[in-house]
Amino acid sequence: MPPNRLYFGDCLDVMREDVPDGSVDLIYLDPPFNSKRLYNAYMGGAQWVAFDDTWRWHEAIDDFDDVAGTVELAGMMEGMRRILGEGPNLAYLSYMANRLRECRRVLTERGSIYLHCDPTMSHYLKVVMDAIFGRKNFRNEIVWYYKNASRGKRQLAKAHDIIFWYSMSDDYQFHRERILVPFESGMTEWRYTRGGQRGQPMPTGKTPDDVVEMPSLNAMAKERVGYPTQKPLSLLERIITTSSNEGDSVMDPFCGCGTTLHAAQALDRQWTGIDICVNACKVIETRLRSHFDIIWSDVEFIGMPKTAEDARTLAEIDSFRFERWAASLVDGMEANRKQRGDRGIDGRGRIPVRKGEFVDIVSQVKGGHTGPGDVQAFNGARQEAGADLGVFTCFADRVTPRMRDAAANAGRFMDVPVIQIHTIEDYFEGRAPRIPRPL
């Protein structure tokens, strides 16, 4: 198995299906924060919604049941339900708890996990982390002070994120000698000539404290790739250096544009990245190719077909993964978080057209047989979902003239057809559906 792997998919499924128990030395995760926002990406001259950080209870009931069904976590989840009620916050926490539980399963006995969050949910997440990893394994609450604060008019300006560091046991990696910072002036001489440590070899610096002062990436930063919420490479380099050795395996289950993978590759660690956004995976591939002479046979891309033939194979062997991939081929489209009970809709997206104005798009995927009745039914599902446009995705050899007629009969919106048939072959040949672009 190649040492480095990039997966397109939900990290819960990927970890459950593909990551063995006790196989990862270090996990860093920077999941959505429950900010109730849409995050736009700006790449290749286009703008699209990269991910949606809004949470709905009905989409997280399975996660809640999974976690609350375990002996160790039932009490904590029940307590959260009482405090928060069945709404977006409990949905978010259930989603996170289920994935953090898998993180624990895949970590080695000496492993560490760094969970990046912010004060929106950090107080609840710490309770979840205590329940999953054990309070005694809590190592630090790291404050990342990024300085360029938002403006505070009725309260203080927000200028920090939180990173919780937990280990799996008391025997964890902490390479303090690699991250020492200089002593404040005067300290050294006083300590080592008069204190109890007289005669000891003088260290070259002191252990840094748990506040990391580091600017976030501004729009002009050289390392910026245009993906929202991109974290600075130096932050990840510091974490990886502190808690792992060369050759160790590092995993980022919410890897975005691949900052962790970039840092891990630069520091000679093996890496696994997972993201649920097809475009994020594409950005990562470009990013790594432009920075490293990686031996590409050492990297495996999973869940992302590279040709129409690959896509056909994926549809045959794993129709669920195929659907998720195909539902998000259009920039800005995201597969449903929940695949069951989707009422004929497999993916959704919002494309900004003017400030504060969006076009809502839905998609449906058919990996096998299809016909004009499916196109008509999809248009009905689109109307029911209140979307402006619909993208119907299938293989080219399934499309018939009567299907094209059914699509044309759905009419037009902002000068583009309301229902468009977009084949897998169109995608690989670089043809995208017509989407109204910003005016």
Ligand X SMILES: C[S@@+](CC[C@H](N)C(=O)[O-])C[C@H]1O[C@@H](n2cnc3c(N)ncnc32)[C@H](O)[C@@H]1O
Residues within the interface to ligand X (CB under 6 A): 10-11, 30-32, 51, 227, 229-231, 253-254, 256-257, 259, 274-277, 280
Please state the closest distance from residue 276 (CB atom) to ligand X, in A. 4
Euclidean distance between CA atoms 319 and 321, whole angstroms: 6
Euclidean distance between CA atoms 204 and 193, whole angstroms: 15
Q: Which helix (H) or strand (E) holds 206?
A: none
Q: Are strands 333-335 and 347-354 parallel, antiparallel or unpaired?
A: antiparallel
Please state the closest distance from residue 117 (CB atom) to ligand X, in A. 10
Please state the closest distance from residue 292 (CB atom) to ligand X, in A. 17
Give the residue at shortest CB distance from ligand X. Answer: 256
Number of Cβ atoms within 10 Å of the Cβ of 188 = 16
Number of Cβ atoms within 10 Å of the Cβ of 161 = 21
Q: Which is nearer to ligand X, 97 or 399 (CB)?
A: 97
Q: Which is nearer to ligand X, 63 or 248 (CB)?
A: 63
Euclidean distance between CA atoms 259 and 216, whole angstroms: 13
Euclidean distance between CA atoms 332 and 387, whole angstroms: 14
Please state the closest distance from residue 149 (CB atom) to ligand X, in A. 19
Please state the closest distance from residue 10 (CB atom) to ligand X, in A. 4
Please state the closest distance from residue 32 (CB atom) to ligand X, in A. 5
| Residue 439 near residue 341, CB atoms below 8 Å | no
Euclidean distance between CA atoms 321 and 247, whole angstroms: 30
Q: What angle do CA 286, 287, 290 make, to 5 degrees?
A: 80
Q: Which is nearer to ligand X, 253 or 367 (CB)?
A: 253
Please state the closest distance from residue 181 (CB atom) to ligand X, in A. 24
What is the edge-to-edge ordering of all strands in the sheet holding 160-167? 211-213, 138-145, 160-167, 107-117, 24-29, 249-252, 270-275, 4-8, 299-302
Euclidean distance between CA atoms 116 and 378, whole angstroms: 39
Euclidean distance between CA atoms 255 and 31, whole angstroms: 8
Q: Which is nearer to ligand X, 118 or 426 (CB)?
A: 118
Residue 196's Cβ-side half-sphere holds a number of Cα atoms within 13 Å equal to 0
Q: Which is nearer to ligand X, 338 or 398 (CB)?
A: 338
The counts of H helices and E strands in the chain are 14, 18
To which residue do tokens 């995050």 refer? 39
Please state the closest distance from residue 152 (CB atom) to ligand X, in A. 23
Please state the closest distance from residue 112 (CB atom) to ligand X, in A. 17
Q: Which is nearer to ligand X, 33 or 172 (CB)?
A: 33
Euclidean distance between CA atoms 157 and 177, whole angstroms: 34
| Backbone dihedral angles phi then psi of residue 126, each to the nearest 5 degrees | -65, -35
Q: Which is nearer to ligand X, 288 or 406 (CB)?
A: 288
Helix axes of 308-317 and 319-326: crossing angle, nearest 10 degrees: 140
Q: What angle do CA 333, 336, 342 make, to 5 degrees?
A: 125
Please state the closest distance from residue 225 (CB atom) to ligand X, in A. 8
Q: Which is nearer to ligand X, 173 or 234 (CB)?
A: 234
Q: Which is nearer to ligand X, 122 or 370 (CB)?
A: 122
Q: Which is nearer to ligand X, 4 or 259 (CB)?
A: 259
